[in-house]
Amino acid sequence: MKPARTNEARHQRAAARVPRDGLITAAFVALLVAIGAFAVHQSFELRRALADNDAIRALALGQSVPLRDGAPGPLLLAAAAQVLSRDDLTAAEALAPRIQTAGDAKVQAAFLYALANARMRAGFELIEANDIDEATVTIRLAQEDYRRAMRLDPEDFDVKVNFDLASRLVRVFPRPAIEREEEGKRPRDVWTDLPGVPRGLP
């Protein structure tokens, strides 16, 4: 009877192995599927990164490049740099919400720094054109952009230097309220915020 019992035990062990082997096979197949999906995803991400790099190089060469939805911060920054090289502040400002949405603090700081520098260039041109009021407004906007850039990237020395220059060019402290002058009297506020650049003779 021993051989019969031995055969029966073997059959029982074999039957027990079937479900276990099936589970192992299913797990192995699931692992292969997961690896395949990951490889496809990584391949897609690589192709997109390469396309973004090509777009950044094209923008640096002055070429027109459409910006896809969800474009990364560096690509948006390159687009902003291109329009700012033409001093197109309006086009650059239109990119600000997308750059903020990208969520990269360094990129946001670099954008604000570049935007402030463009405002400073515009401010100097307005000073040369003797449009002092508009120059003051423009430089104050540059000061605010520099402040925001410093909050995002406090270690950027260039931002601090340029903010100091803008602060020396136009005072950063608030001006006192000017009382209304009676009709026929000379107004007291005859000097501009720009040091050394009078609006008119006193």
Q: Is 193 part of any domain?
A: no
Q: Is 180 part of any domain?
A: no
176 vs 52, which has greater pLDDT? Answer: 52
In this structure, the answer to whether residues 88 and 168 fall within a common structural domain is yes
Domain count for the chain: 2
Q: Is the pLDDT of residue 195 over 90?
A: no
CA distances from 186 to 89, 183, 196, 198, 202 (A): 37, 8, 21, 15, 9
Query: What is the predicted pLDDT for the residue at 59?
Result: 83
Question: Residue 143: which domain range?
Answer: 67-172
Are the C-beta atoms of residues 171 and 192 closer than 8 Å to each other? no
Residue ranges of E strands in 21-101: none
In this structure, the answer to whether residues 102 and 17 fall within a common structural domain is no
In this structure, the answer to whether residues 50 and 139 fall within a common structural domain is no
In this structure, the answer to whether residues 15 and 55 fall within a common structural domain is yes
Global pTM reads 0.65
- Average pLDDT for the chain: 77
In this structure, the answer to whether residues 98 and 125 fall within a common structural domain is yes
2 vs 69, which has greater pLDDT? Answer: 69
Q: Is 85 part of any domain?
A: yes
Q: Residue 17: which pLDDT band, with cuts at 50, 70 and 90?
A: low
Q: Is 185 part of any domain?
A: no
In this structure, the answer to whether residues 82 and 161 fall within a common structural domain is yes
In this structure, the answer to whether residues 18 and 61 fall within a common structural domain is yes
User: What pairs with residue 191 in β-bridges?
Assistant: 198
**CATH number of the domain enclosing 93:** 1.25.40
DSSP assignment, residue 198? B
Q: Residue 201: which pLDDT band, with cuts at 50, 70 and 90?
A: very low
Query: What is the predicted pLDDT for the residue at 182?
Result: 52
Cα 161 to the chain's mean position, in Å? 21
In this structure, the answer to whether residues 89 and 148 fall within a common structural domain is yes
In this structure, the answer to whether residues 7 and 98 fall within a common structural domain is no
Report the percent of the chain where pLDDT is more than 70: 60
In this structure, the answer to whether residues 55 and 125 fall within a common structural domain is no
In this structure, the answer to whether residues 33 and 121 fall within a common structural domain is no
Q: Shortest CA distance to 120 belongs to which of 101, 102, 143, 150? A: 143
In this structure, the answer to whether residues 76 and 40 fall within a common structural domain is no
Q: Worst-scoring range by mean pLDDT, 108-112, 125-129, 155-159, 186-190?
A: 186-190
Q: Is 90 part of any domain?
A: yes
User: What is the mean predicted confidence (pLDDT) over 66-90?
Assistant: 91
